[in-house]
Amino acid sequence: MINPPLDALLKKVDCKYTLAVFAAKRAREIMSGACPLVESKSNKPVTIALEEIAQGKIRYQRTKTGIK
């Protein structure tokens, strides 16, 4: 079972590709020494990043509408 559920995560972003990039970027920040914003049972950076997204602790801002 995936925790947090994928359905809950996809409600926080516009598409699954944004979710993947967003979670990966935050996981790299956590691995570099950034403090996690949530208490987690897991010590894996990607899981912590996904839990932060699910709880609404971090948000993204799209900088471009498309590639030309």
- The pLDDT of residue 67 is 65
- The pLDDT of residue 2 is 64
Say what the pTM is. Answer: 0.84
Interval 13-33: pLDDT, tens:
989 999 999 999 999 999 999
- The pLDDT of residue 10 is 92
Q: Return d(Cα 9, Cα 6) in angstroms, integer.
A: 5
* Domain residue ranges of the chain, discontinuous segments joined by +: 6-54
Question: Most distant CA pair in the chain: distance in Å?
Answer: 43
- The pLDDT of residue 63 is 75
CA-based Rg of the chain, rounded to a whole angstrom? 12
- The pLDDT of residue 57 is 94
